[in-house]
Structure 1
Amino acid sequence: MRKGFGIFWLLFFLYFIFAHPAIIYYNTEFRNTNLDLVNPNAALFHLALSFILWAAVFTIAIWLILRYSVIAKRNIKKLSNTGKRLQGEIVEVKPLKSAHAKFKTQTIVLKLANLAGETIWHSMSFTDTKPEENRYQVGKMCYLRVDPKFKTSPYVVLEESLVSVNWFLMVVWCMFLAAVLYYFTFSYDLENGGYGWRFLSTWHPLVVIPSCIIFFPGIIFLILRYVVFKKMNIGPEATVLKFKGKRALASIGQIEQTGTSINDQPEVRFHVQFHDAHGNLHTPTIKKIVALIDLGTIKNGKEKMLFYDPENPKRVAFEEDLMNELNIV
């Protein structure tokens, strides 16, 4: 059911990015009979704009493909050899659906000490290519490699992790590039009417489609990256705080709603105060999304454990939000 839902929204998204602009254009502005009245400078502007937009699309696409394949493989190999070695105990194993019958895809939850010596829980999903060895079972020990400077993604990997490059994405990129180049020639042959590129306009698919590819995924990325993930303590910042942070007992002072909500769940601002390892008092604020059913349980003066960055004590998060792999805190 979930897979079918995802396919539906993917097709819906592709339709509005590629098919919808073409349907609108070829039923409205297509076959412009007044090309001789179009300013040649306007035609050059739209042609340059189209080339720039498509260049941006293909540059971003190849950068993402390389980042999460070739570059990621290089970074993981380097981190597996040079990263800080942390030993963890497997406390839970959750099997996942695997694409390969001979392999086992799973999520494991580890209990370990972070770089500051604090006990943490961390989950990792991966495919075990040697399931017959039963290396990942509850109670067994395994090792993580952590980048102590947190400069290169990923920051944390399983020791001896192997990454394969999916060259299929490169093939898709090349095929898409060929299709776009063909569409340029196809549109020119079909529409030029002896007037060159004067048929190009702001609403031509050669301009609209790359604009949509950049705009809509960009908006979704910004919302997820800087709004949803940040407010739900998901992402690289939470990982850094978990692996380098120190634990402290905080007293909750003023509590107030910020006026922001996600999926009808309100965002709440907590004014907290705690003493760091050196006895210094800090009074940062924490924003988090709280379920409506839990609003009544939030009280002033209540104490909660949090993690803070020793280098920047204002960077804090409640322990329960960082250690959400198991309901352990």
Structure 2
Amino acid sequence: MKFMIIFWAVYILFFCIPFPIFIYMMTSEGTGEPRNSLAVSYGYLGFSLIIWGYILVYFTNILFIKTFKEKNTIQSILRNGTPREAKIMNYKLLKYIPESNINVIQIILSFANLRNVQIEQEMMFHDIKPQEKRFDEGNTVKVLLNPNTSESPYFILAGQQTQFNSSGMVLRLIFLVLMIAYVAGLYYYFYTTESYDFGWRFLTFMHPIIFSGVMILIFVLIFQFILGKFFKNKKDEQLLFTGRNAEAHIISVTQTGLTVNDQPQIMFQVSFKDFRGTEHIAVYKKIVSLLKLSSIPIHGTIEIMYDENQPAKIMIPKGI
């Protein structure tokens, strides 16, 4: 896993940093004449500043601001969280770290959500006291639910401690400093070597000052698109913690034609009554494993969870 992360990081960096510069050096005519009018050149300059500004703000947010926000959220949950008793339904040892006698474990907890609906949720963390066997299957632990479900995490273990990984934070800081140095170096180097007293009139779209930023921006947008799919799953998780449950009648179950890693997306159309007795019809789409296709119910009833303020928002929490 680490090898693949390093490989893709190097691959992306190659196409974002040395590749645009290499292409420019190979194709540049090296003329001392201005390549654009003053207005066009300042347009390109402004465009490049917008791109690099967005990229630097994005990385600052991802690497630092979100981390500090998440820590503050956890501290807020420790102070104001809604307590629940949770039963451990499943325990799985993922990794043992002998140097520090720590287990990396994955457990499935069963507890009541903010609407007192029983739910199950998976959790992975480091068990620093494995000898106490606190998280064996069948045991109970205390959890705290986040009252503000617009922020994650939605729950934590009572007494959970948070601290920054100092080496990880240093690496993040080094990366951001190198990124800023790279951007500043681009502007300084090419301005001093290509301006020829004409200012920024050497800029073109394929110039490394612009094209390098465009390449990085493309990868950032791709990452945000992938992250958007992840946040879609987060919305389901949010509904899991705030929703009410209901028994829904299955109207239809069809394939949408979309597949992800050869796994089909299934669309469920159901009807149900909310806690006020009002009937609703809603649609829910979900990627389903090929191994589970034969077990998907196509008629009868199914348990769902819905948003009491927007009943059209539903999810199917179990069994599929």
TM-score using structure 2 length: 0.87
Residues 109 and 284 (structure 1 numbering): CA distance in 2 closer, same or farther, change over 3 Å? same
* Cα shift readout 1:88-140 (whole Å, capped 9, x = no counterpart): 12222222346783133222211112222222111111223444544333232
SS state of the match for residue 283, structure 1? strand
1:84 CA displacement = 0.8
Q: Which residue does 2:93 correspond to in 1?
A: 95
Matched, 1:225 2:224: no
Matched, 1:309 2:307: yes
Residue among 213, 217, 220 paired with 1:214: 217
Residues 36 and 213 (structure 1 numbering): CA distance in 2 closer, same or farther, change over 3 Å? closer
Matched, 1:52 2:44: no
Residues 127 and 10 (structure 1 numbering): CA distance in 2 closer, same or farther, change over 3 Å? same
CA distance in 1, matches of 2:59, 2:78: 27
1:185 CA displacement = 1.5
Q: Which residue does 2:205 correspond to in 1?
A: 202
Matched, 1:193 2:196: yes
CA distance in 2, matches of 1:107, 1:293: 23
* Cα shift readout 1:194-234 (whole Å, capped 9, x = no counterpart): 433222211111111222222322133224424x663xxx2
* Cα shift readout 1:269-319 (whole Å, capped 9, x = no counterpart): 221112333433221111122345655555642322211222322211112
Matched, 1:174 2:177: yes
Q: Which residue does 1:111 correspond to in 2?
A: 110
Q: Which residue does 2:26 correspond to in 1?
A: 27
Residue among 78, 81, 86 paired with 1:80: 78
CA distance in 1, matches of 2:88, 2:294: 35
* Cα shift readout 1:165-212 (whole Å, capped 9, x = no counterpart): 343212321232123212322222333334332222111111112222
Residues 191 and 101 (structure 1 numbering): CA distance in 2 closer, same or farther, change over 3 Å? farther
SS state of the match for residue 312, structure 2? strand
Identical aligned residues as a percent: 28
Q: Which residue does 1:250 correspond to in 2?
A: 248
Aligned residue pairs total 315
Residues 84 and 287 (structure 1 numbering): CA distance in 2 closer, same or farther, change over 3 Å? same
Residues 293 and 54 (structure 1 numbering): CA distance in 2 closer, same or farther, change over 3 Å? same
SS state of the match for residue 89, structure 1? strand
When structure 1 is superposed on structure 2, of 284-293 and 205-214 the one drifting more is: 284-293
Indicate the RMSD between aligned Cα atoms, in angstroms: 2.6
1:251 CA displacement = 1.9
TM-score using structure 1 length: 0.85
CA distance in 2, matches of 1:125, 1:292: 26
CA distance in 2, matches of 1:14, 1:266: 34
SS state of the match for residue 92, structure 2? strand
Residues 69 and 297 (structure 1 numbering): CA distance in 2 closer, same or farther, change over 3 Å? closer
Q: Which residue does 1:14 correspond to in 2?
A: 13
1:268 CA displacement = 2.4
CA distance in 2, matches of 1:160, 1:67: 24
1:43 CA displacement = 2.2
Q: Which residue does 1:324 correspond to in 2?
A: none
Residues 290 and 200 (structure 1 numbering): CA distance in 2 closer, same or farther, change over 3 Å? same
Contact 1:120–1:242 under 8 Å retained in 2: yes
Contact 2:251–2:271 under 8 Å retained in 1: yes
SS state of the match for residue 201, structure 1? coil
CA distance in 2, matches of 1:203, 1:160: 54
* Amino acid in the other structure paired with 1:185: Y
Q: Which residue does 2:264 correspond to in 1?
A: 266
* Amino acid in the other structure paired with 2:278: N
Q: Which residue does 2:186 correspond to in 1?
A: 183
Q: Which runs of 5+ in 1 are unaligned?
A: 322-328
